Chain A
Amino acid sequence: MQLLVFVAATLMVIAGAIGVVVLNQAVHAALGLVLTLFGVAVHFVAMEAHFLAVVQVIVYAGAIVVLIMFVIMLLGIDRTEDLRVEPLPIQRPLAGILGVAIVALLVAAIFAARDSGPLQTGVGLDVEVREPAGAAATVTPDANVKQLSRNLFGDQVFAFELTGVLLVVAVAGTVVMTRRERKPSLRSPATQAASDRSPAGASSLAPEDAT
């Protein structure tokens, strides 16, 4: 049963990933991404990281992909990028080689590590074995959440706070970056004020000529 779930989810993941890379239209690529994200969420559930699975769906698939879609629609980038043309001749072969190389090396690393013993706590290695996520999963269904929250707000509270700061900074930065500059006006102040008040002077969201 587990194998079946694994295979199904894996197919979703790989199919979606390939779709993102291969499909011409941006919206299609976004849909591929959603497929991948769902697949990963299924994997999470299979690995008993329930909370994360939910968060994955809500945040990633629900918010981020929707945002991307929103921007695609907003800016009208549906002019298809012709994937048959490649301006930089070296790029395709290089990508192929590198992709294969990365996968191969990572797999080699995985298999090499599998044969070695468990991680030794040594210099710089500070791994404490806590209650295993699966083993200590007792009767309560929210055991995972409990553990996660205890870790997050306990040991990692500093990182948590910093992440909050990061979010604020990101939002503020984005707002500043995407503000539309007011161009120095050649009109008299009276006319400018009148124009400001009327809805005709409001900025439109359509891409305009450069200011």
Chain B
Amino acid sequence: MSFALTVPAPTETWYLVLGAVLFGIGSVGVLVRRNPLVLLMCVELMLNAVTLSFVALSRSVGSIDGQTAVFFILVVAAAEAVVGLGIIVAILRRRPGVTADDLTELRG
């Protein structure tokens, strides 16, 4: 069957908008959640939004550099997750059950 209406093909703009929305959701999550691990996950969300944008732009610009950037982002995100989890483990080993709100030593 043929569709009478023309189906719009997703252009790069749609991907960028999706990335923007994902980024927004991620930032809201960072601000709202108290559980440190969920906090980390929200940061991962933001990173994913960025990678999405990069790939979309790489496709529209026509350069492979965007995908290389995504590659690096992925690697750094992995490293960051490792370190972040290490910190969380170190903290929670001493003070089990803390949340982000309880770690308030760095105050003026």
Q: Is the beta-carbon distance between A52 and B44 smaller than 8 angstroms?
A: no
Given A10-B18, A17-B45, A129-B62 in contact, is the A71-B88 Cβ separation under 8 Å? yes
Find chain A residues with CB under 8 A from B72 CB: 156, 159, 163
| Contact indicator B52/A43 (Cβ below 8 Å) | yes
CB-defined interface of A96-128 with B at 8 Å, one 1/0 digit per residue? 101110110011001100100001000000011
Interface size on B, residues (CB 8 A): 75
Residue pair A64, B89 in contact (C-beta under 8 Å): no
Does A68 lie within 8 Å of B23, measured CB to CB? no
Question: Is A59 within 8 A of B22, CB to CB?
Answer: no
Interfacial chain A residues near B15, Cβ < 8 Å: 43, 47
Total number of A residues with any Cβ neighbor in B under 8 Å: 95
Chain B 34-69: CB-based contact to A (< 8 A → 1; otherwise 0): 111110111011001001100110110111110110
Quick one: which of B9, B63, B88 contacts A127, CB cutoff 8 A? B63
**Are the CB atoms of B25 and A99 closer together than 8 Å?**
yes
Query: Do residues B37 and A91 form an inter-chain contact, with CB atoms below 8 A?
Result: no
Q: With A96-B28, A111-B13, A128-B63 as given contacts, are A103 and B20 in contact (CB-CB < 8 Å)?
A: yes
Instruction: Determine how close the nearest CB of chain A comes to the CB of B48; give it in whole angstroms.
Output: 5
Give me 9 A-to-B residue pairs in the complex whose CB atoms sit less than 8 angstroms apart, sorted by A's number.
A13-B18, A52-B51, A52-B74, A56-B51, A60-B44, A60-B78, A79-B97, A87-B101, A207-B92
Interface residues of A (CB under 8 A from B): 2-3, 6, 10, 13-14, 17-18, 20-21, 26, 29-30, 32-33, 36-37, 40, 43-44, 46-49, 51-52, 55-56, 59-60, 63-64, 67-68, 71-72, 74-77, 79, 81, 83, 86-88, 91-92, 94-96, 98-100, 102-103, 106-107, 110-111, 114, 119, 127-135, 144, 147-148, 150-152, 155-156, 159, 163, 166-167, 170-171, 173-175, 177-178, 180, 207-208, 210-211
